[in-house]
Amino acid sequence: MNAKTMIAAIAMASAAMVSQAAYAGDISTPTTPVELVDGSAFFGQHFNGGHQNDTFADNYSFSLTGSAFVQGDVFSSSGNANNGLNITGLDLFDSNGLVGTGHLVSTGAKDEWQLDSTGPLLAGNYYLQVRGSVVSNASGKYNSSVTVSPVPEPATYGMMLGGLALVGAIAARRSKKQVQAA
């Protein structure tokens, strides 16, 4: 009975070691810092051929100096759905973990994902993660962007409300003059 158990364990371990070779490889790149220029950054990745079924999760880091809304996009296009890349996710993280998840806009010959922060994010360090796999041995690439829109300061809102009040007062005065003239 012990010999049968030992042989079964060796067979299972051997099968597990052999099956490891069938798994896809991870071709992720290290975290890449991106510089926001005028509130935007553009980046991407190109994979040479020979990586069929390999997966990737590429991170692109950036910093916010104040409260802001963040939007991200990723596009991958190929001749058809059986060629190039399959983008499977676009997520936004901070040092505490997941902040936002993108949604799939289109898939097939062209994969497109979009991400919008649900509210303003505080100043700090963030990164976008683009996940996917290589569909064939042909080369593939994706292009991505992040756009940051600062949240207006309270003084800006005060100036806007003051301007609206001034326009309202002028309109009321004009209306009053027109009524008196009639």
What is the per-residue pLDDT across 41-82, written as a single tens digit (0 to 9) for each? 999 998 888 888 999 999 999 999 999 999 999 999 776 666
More reliable by pLDDT, 81 or 39: 39
At 4, is the pLDDT very low, low, confident or very high (cuts 50, 70, 90)?
low
**Rounded distance between C-alpha atoms, residue 27 and residue 91, angstroms:** 18
Residue 21 pLDDT level (bands cut at 50, 70, 90): very low
Give bridge partners of residue 115 from the DSSP assignment.
Answer: 72
**What is the pLDDT at residue 10?**
65
| Residue among 131, 111, 102, 142 at smallest CA distance from 27 | 131
pLDDT value of residue 130: 96
Instruction: Say which range, 21-35, 112-126, 163-177, has the weakest mean pLDDT.
Output: 163-177
> Which has more pLDDT, 36 or 170?
36
Instruction: Catalogue all structural domains in the chain, each as residue range(s) with its CATH number.
Output: 25-156 (2.60.120.380)
Q: Where are the alpha helices (DSSP H) in the chain?
A: 2-20, 154-181
- What whole-number distance in Å separates Cα of residue 38 and Cα of residue 150? 11
How far, rounded to the nearest angstrom, does the alpha carbon of residue 180 sit from its chain's CA centroid? 60
Q: Which of 27-31, 104-108, 124-128 reaches the highest mean pLDDT?
A: 124-128
Distance CA 132, CA 53 (A): 10
pLDDT tier, 121 (very low <50, low <70, confident <90, very high otherwise): very high
Cα 170 from chain centroid (whole Å):
46
Residue bearing the bigger pLDDT, 141 or 3: 141
If one compares 150 and 11, the residue with the highest pLDDT of the two is: 150
